[in-house]
Structure 1
Amino acid sequence: MTTDDGGPVSRAEDRSLSQTKLILDRLADSWPRRAYVKKQELEPFFESDKEDFLEHLLPFRQHPQYQSCSPDMRSRVLSCGWLMYNAKTVQIETEIVNPACLDIIGGAMPGLRAAASQKAVCETMVDEVYHVHLVEQASRLTRSRRGLDDVVVPQFNLVRRMRERQRDLSDPWQRRMIQFATAVVSEIFISDYLHLLSESDEIQSFNRMTVAAHRHDEMAHSPLFRSLAHLFSHELTVDQRAVFAGMLPEPVLWFADRELDVWLLLLRQIGFPQADEMIRECKMSGTADLASLDSSGVVSLAEEIGLLDSAAAHDSFARQGLIP
């Protein structure tokens, strides 16, 4: 076996690739047993004495304007938090992950044309479409019970910034690469993103169960996308690997965005008093909360597949605050 520049592949690298392919085979074969899409539909019910969302996840929870609002308004804000949480899930699945999967299925991604990769990615797309159905069902229940049918959740900065980055790139392969990098980062982070709600007894049981079902599948998607990233990067040229190394840390900052602009539009829709002033003051402390993310998974992935070997790649990760 040789590398793209004609040099021999080391035994350690060969073993690593073999292990990655074995992981893909196991993930693909385990899908009928572990996927929640194969299980009975969750039965919705409503608990009027519990909130829809965790207050400590609100980016403005300590602001005096929020602290002084009425209990009814606070409850409406938390319901909006749940709708926003679900809408972000939908946008991640439909705008980021599934398009990346379609690129793989279409044979446009180097290193990912083998049968195991194709099978695992097809199964993942089924998972993701079911997750959209799952969280939309939860949102419909909340909208109906909380009188929020007319609330509109706009596009999140995570998606918007990926789209802007794609528009800056002239080559189609680079646009596909930033889509794939954003999908990899999202799948690494989303399990932690879902963790707190999936185990909380403070919120609606149906909400908790919905998130837990989603997280169950996402815990398999994270190692899958790590394996896909490994196989993908191995087939890139030296120049292409350098581009990928520079791109991979960018979506980390996008994922950490506090989405204050989205919150402002939601707060305006429910008549939250002085929402503009509160969000403006929150922005003064920064628009992203990188400290809330455990970025070690992205860094370890980059190390495992050799993306941090160059000084330029190391600097790219350092600029995003992921390494010293």
Structure 2
Amino acid sequence: MDVNHSGTDDAVKGMLAKLSTLWKTRAAVNQPQPDYWGLAFDANKNDFSHSLLPFRNHQAWLEAPKDLQSKCMSYAWGIYNLKTIYIECNVVVPACEDIIKTPPQSHNRALLQDVMSQALLDEALHTRMSIMACNYIYDMRQLTPLDFSAFNLVTWREALLANCTAEWERRLTRFGIACASETLITDYLKTMAEDSTIQSVCHEVTRTHAMDEWSHSSVFSFVATDIVNGLTRKERLYLRSIILRTVQMFANNEMGAWARVFDMLGLPNGNEILHDVGDNNEISVYTDSLEALVNRIGLAGNGLESAEQAVEQLRERASA
């Protein structure tokens, strides 16, 4: 049975209109860009935040030669940017295109197309920024660029879509993964955006990206709220399950990419690190944002279990 959310329609319309109007001044990458490449390069600074390394406390890593540690930190920047590129191109852009090409039945149809077309432009600029930032570090460090494509979130999404049996499932899968990703990325970016100890160009590029993703989190949330208003209970349960499952893939350590890096560098005891660390990162970094998202877009209550219950079940599955 559908739940009538007409009381929220005006509020959603107002926020979508506001986000659309503010886009020209809100979108950081849509402004004249600072000369990032003119920033001083400090060879003694790390190119990535050490606290985000999945193996930062592993004894084999702590005992690795300093020059190899430095190169690994540079490749961490490469992995982060390459994964960002794949998420922007393969996850977020298709969700934007769905809304632009065939918007849902809604009083806010034109506004949905407008804000998603703005987000689409932002993502194209983020992709370009990530390519440039990644290659800049490779050039300055004289490193062979990493060639890797099997990022877990992307491959999991492809498998999930292949198993969908209806078009509504495919659309909600594409949108749910993108919506969750645009929310969860803000937690990840926050660390580097506030870490002034890393390479200046890495800090500034990440800070610019973070500014836009904080806004995109709002855009996708209000678009999601509008979409959820028109869903059946079955569809809402499905969308919520996709969003909850996305956090496990988003928190993946991407050890496949690290295996490639360790092999390229000949890191001593690299296989030991890969074996001991495994794929699953600590999802608690993201659960507060996830819980807030589920509540905010209307996927809790009204016959559905609470966001707190859903997230607790997620934690239990992750620790099992």
Q: TM-score, normalised by structure 1?
A: 0.89
SS across alignment from 1:248: helix
Structure 1: gaps (5+ residues): none
Counterpart Cα distance in 1 of 2:45 and 2:218: 34
**What's 1:42 paired with?**
34
CA contact (8 A) 1:242 1:313 kept: no
**What's 1:280 paired with?**
275
Q: Given the alignment of the two structures, is residue 291 of structure 1 paired with residue 290 of structure 2, yes or no?
A: no
Q: Given the alignment of the two structures, is residue 178 of structure 1 paired with residue 162 of structure 2, yes or no?
A: no
Q: Given the alignment of the two structures, is residue 321 of structure 1 paired with residue 311 of structure 2, yes or no?
A: no
CA contact (8 A) 2:180 2:290 kept: yes
2:116 to 98, 118, 121: 121
Counterpart Cα distance in 2 of 1:210 and 1:305: 30
Which deviates more, 198-207 or 305-314?
A: 305-314
For the aligned residue pairs, the C-alpha RMSD in angstroms reads: 2.2
Counterpart Cα distance in 2 of 1:166 and 1:72: 42
**What's 2:293 paired with?**
301
1:29 to 16, 21, 25: 21
Counterpart Cα distance in 1 of 2:315 and 2:107: 30
1:319 partner letter: Q
CA contact (8 A) 2:189 2:206 kept: yes
Tell me by how many angstroms 1:167 deviates. Answer: 1.3
Superposed counterparts of 1:28-107, under 5 Å:
28-43=20-35, 44=37, 45=39, 46-107=41-102
Which deviates more, 100-109 or 77-86?
A: 100-109
Tell me by how many angstroms 1:173 deviates. Answer: 2.0
SS across alignment from 1:158: helix
Counterpart Cα distance in 2 of 1:270 and 1:154: 19
- The CA deviation string for residues 139-185 of structure 1, in whole angstroms up to 9 with x for no partner, is 11111111223422332111111111111212122112111111111
Counterpart Cα distance in 2 of 1:225 and 1:98: 12
CA contact (8 A) 1:260 1:287 kept: no
Distance 1:82 1:154, change over 3 A: same
Structure 2: gaps (5+ residues): none
- The CA deviation string for residues 229-267 of structure 1, in whole angstroms up to 9 with x for no partner, is 111011112322232232221101111112222211221
- The CA deviation string for residues 127-150 of structure 1, in whole angstroms up to 9 with x for no partner, is 110011111111111111112234
Distance 1:322 1:116, change over 3 A: farther
1:269 to 258, 264, 268: 264
**What's 2:200 paired with?**
205
Counterpart Cα distance in 2 of 1:259 and 1:96: 17
2:152 partner letter: N
SS across alignment from 1:138: helix
Counterpart Cα distance in 2 of 1:106 and 1:252: 27
Which deviates more, 245-254 or 116-125?
A: 245-254
- The CA deviation string for residues 63-104 of structure 1, in whole angstroms up to 9 with x for no partner, is 111111111000000001000111111111111111100011
Counterpart Cα distance in 1 of 2:261 and 2:306: 38
Q: TM-score, normalised by structure 2?
A: 0.90
Counterpart Cα distance in 2 of 1:312 and 1:84: 37
CA contact (8 A) 1:104 1:112 kept: no
CA contact (8 A) 2:103 2:112 kept: no
Tell me by how many angstroms 1:313 deviates. Answer: 8.1
Tell me by how many angstroms 1:112 deviates. Answer: 8.3
Aligned residues: percent identity? 27
Counterpart Cα distance in 1 of 2:241 and 2:46: 41
Counterpart Cα distance in 2 of 1:75 and 1:214: 24
Distance 1:322 1:173, change over 3 A: farther
Tell me by how many angstroms 1:317 deviates. Answer: 4.4
Q: Given the alignment of the two structures, is residue 167 of structure 1 paired with residue 125 of structure 2, yes or no?
A: no
Counterpart Cα distance in 2 of 1:211 and 1:186: 16
Q: Given the alignment of the two structures, is residue 229 of structure 1 paired with residue 224 of structure 2, yes or no?
A: yes
Aligned residues: 312
Counterpart Cα distance in 2 of 1:246 and 1:196: 27
